[in-house]
Amino acid sequence: MTIKNFGARVVSVWEGLRPMTKKMLVGVWQASSGSSFPAQTQKFSYDTHADWELSRLLFALDEQAKDTEVKKDAEKLREIKQLAETCSSVLQSQTESAEVFIQLATRVLQNNDFNKFDILADTLAKRFSAGEIAEIVRQTDLAQIRAIAFETLAMMPVSYLLPLLDDPIYHEIAHIALEQQAFEFDNQDAQMVLEQLEFNEMNDF
């Protein structure tokens, strides 16, 4: 892997990575490429800054892979795509960010990789908070991503959605999810919350 040959934008982002992030990526890349070098990814720390770093690098790599000159160099394109997939796999296994989820989901939809899209959808309920899922609904322009986010909210306990009702940014999203629980899944707790909301709204007039 020769980063300096990947283009100025990629090099700039790479040089801005913390040493721990570089070490993590190199280790994952070595493991995924079958390198004879010992992988260094058995244990690594991960934080929100690493999330941001990998997201920026993935964006730069994806943009570079579209470059006409890069496409003429099969070996360079292969390495760029491999590093991009390394970033993607780490983000997929670690991120809890709405923005990064949208980035990853958009990538796989553009590639018509629906198996990966299903895998990503499964991570929502396992790792993301109700607030981050609501943020996905709010930010995305893609109907497929919005649909799986709403579906995940509709499967969450009602107690997870209640705090969102108090936030004007997420109130409508939580209300829709509760309606889905109440009317499609016959959830009595959701029905009670909706009735209380309706009562409160009537008293406000």
- Judged by DSSP in three states, 169 sits in coil
Residue 107 lies in a domain: no
- Same domain for 67 and 146, yes or no, is no
Extract the residue ranges of the chain whose pLDDT is less than 50: 36-42
- Same domain for 70 and 132, yes or no, is no
Residue 178 lies in a domain: yes
Other CB atoms closer than 10 Å to residue 4's CB: what's the count? 10
170: tokens are 């997420």
Q: For position 38, what pLDDT does the model report?
A: 39
Q: For position 39, what pLDDT does the model report?
A: 38
Residue 102 lies in a domain: no
Residue 73 sits at the vertex; the CA angle it makes with 68 and 74, to the nearest 5 degrees, is: 115
Q: For position 2, what pLDDT does the model report?
A: 78
Q: For position 36, what pLDDT does the model report?
A: 41
Residue labelled with tokens 């499967």: 155
- Same domain for 132 and 73, yes or no, is no
Q: For position 1, what pLDDT does the model report?
A: 62
Residue 203's domain spans which residues? 123-205
Q: For position 32, what pLDDT does the model report?
A: 76
Residue 180 lies in a domain: yes
Residue 115 lies in a domain: no
Q: For position 52, what pLDDT does the model report?
A: 96
**Half-sphere exposure in the Cβ direction for 9 (13 Å, CA):** 13
